Structure 1
Amino acid sequence: MNPKIDDLEQYRKEVREVCDTYHQAPMRDEYVFCTDEKTGIQALEHARPAKPMKAGSPEKREQEYIRHGTTGLIASRDVQTGEIVAPMIRPTRKEKDFVEHIENVVAQDPEASYVFVVDQLNTHQSESLVRFVADQCGIPQGSLGKKGHSGILKTKKTRKKFLKDKSHRIQFVYTPKHCSWLNQIECWFSILCRDLINPRASFTSIDDLAYRLAQYIEYYNQHLAKPFHWTFKGRPLQV
């Protein structure tokens, strides 16, 4: 909750923008999503079956486990409904992976307007993402310039400015650096860890882990999804 702040006024402005996006979401005539990646989800299998609890004795688990590797999850959470949309379960989170996820979200209602709350990871300000937004908004690709040399694509700063443009049908709102806790998807990742990826869980393979992740998300959307009551307004919390 105490990030390194270089420009306090800019920091406060960015925090307020994120919080205002959440508070205004129910009144917006557009989709508002919180998007991020959860990497390094381990498929750990307990080496031996747990001994069930009985009267006067808690459940006992063997401390040894078998590693089956890791996978990752790219997900978007609908701020207005709480549902997890277009989840992608795969080990990589490269530029093309993130753009593919955004494409999948937008494809569910191609003519609608979208706001995505994301952190400042470089893949969230990429050339591919700019080109996708430009294509969706009818902006000629030739007007974007060249990455590293000119125009909108020149630097992360110019690409970020383009992606934040409120006049676009697809817009991105960025949390300040080291403030990913402002992204509601992080709250949901915490729920996912408590419910599924916890010390009691045992996965026999990467495929088993991926299957159970997908099943959990489907169950969550059907029975548990609801909007968060976001009370933080950008002001420092008082003790």
Structure 2
Amino acid sequence: MEVYHEPYDVNCPVICMDEKPFQLLNEVRQPIPMKPAKPLREDSEYERNGTCSIFIFTEPLVGWRHVEVRNQRTRMEWAEQVRALLDVHYPQAPKIKLVMDNLNTHSVASLYHAFDPETALRLAKRLEIHYTPKHGSWLNIAEIELSVMTRQCLGRRIPSITELSDELSAWEQSRNQIQKGVDWQFTTKDARIKLKRLYPQFKD
């Protein structure tokens, strides 16, 4: 995507966002800790504690990411996350280029659903939205961050939103401290070859 190859602009940073459902699970029996030559052993039975949604925002060029956990993934949650992005994390940026998939909740209309017209318009004016192609959400760098987060944080049973939030907050802080960025090497020329089927066909 061309937007990833543009030079860094503090007045219009590129931010990628994505969200992930997560099932909260509690242990029925306490796992047996690992010992030398013996792996962790846990019972196959578990207790379901409902589901939640993980929202992640990342600015690839500076190696920043922020994670939030919410009970649901409705228009309201997305709009509230976007308002926090603009007003809390990037209050000085006149505009933000927001890269995300085209889920039906990911739209300016959600801002008007959640807030009064003046607030929604103020937020919308600061957004330049770039949707990833249908079946091409892997072009969203936030998916890379979600993959890393899943491997490093979510490989065990977590029983509550509070515990999950604490885990992800610690992961966010650690990953931001080492400023781990993304070296994006997929070019527009590559896309026209790999994603040829997504381009319109014109006949003479």
Q: Verify same fold: TM over 0.5.
A: yes
Q: Is the partner of 2:105 in helix, strand or coil?
A: helix
Distance 1:129 1:228 in 2: 29
Distance 2:90 2:131 in 1: 23
Distance 2:163 2:134 in 1: 35
| Residues 1-239 of structure 1: pairs in structure 2 closer than 5 A | 19-26=1-8, 29-39=11-21, 41-85=22-66, 87-107=67-87, 108-112=89-93, 113-129=95-111, 134-136=121-123, 169-198=126-155, 201-223=156-178, 225-234=179-188, 235=190, 236=193
TM-fit CA distance, 1:55: 4.5
Q: Deviations over 1:43-102 (max 9, x none)?
A: 2233333334445443333222222222111221112222113x3311211112111111
Distance 2:151 2:57 in 1: 19
Q: Deviations over 1:134-191 (max 9, x none)?
A: 3247xxxxxxxxxxxxxxxxxxxxxxxxxxxxxx642011111121111011111111
Q: Is the partner of 1:89 in helix, strand or coil?
A: strand
TM-fit CA distance, 1:127: 1.7
Cα distance, 1:66–1:170 mapped onto 2, change above 3 Å: same
Q: What RMSD over aligned residues (CA atoms) do the two structures have, in Å?
A: 2.4
Cα distance, 1:60–1:88 mapped onto 2, change above 3 Å: closer
Residues 133 and 170, structure 1, Cα contact 8 Å, conserved in 2: no
Residues 50 and 62, structure 1, Cα contact 8 Å, conserved in 2: yes
- Structure 1 counterpart of 2:8, one-letter code: P
Distance 1:136 1:209 in 2: 29
- Structure 2 counterpart of 1:105, one-letter code: L
Cα distance, 1:227–1:25 mapped onto 2, change above 3 Å: farther
Distance 2:159 2:120 in 1: 40
Q: Is the partner of 1:60 in helix, strand or coil?
A: coil
Q: Is the partner of 1:67 in helix, strand or coil?
A: strand
Residues 78 and 110, structure 2, Cα contact 8 Å, conserved in 1: no
In structure 1, stretches of 5+ residues that fail to align are: 1-18, 138-167
With normalisation by structure 1, the TM-score equals 0.67
TM-fit CA distance, 1:215: 2.6
With normalisation by structure 2, the TM-score equals 0.78
Identity %, equivalent residues: 30
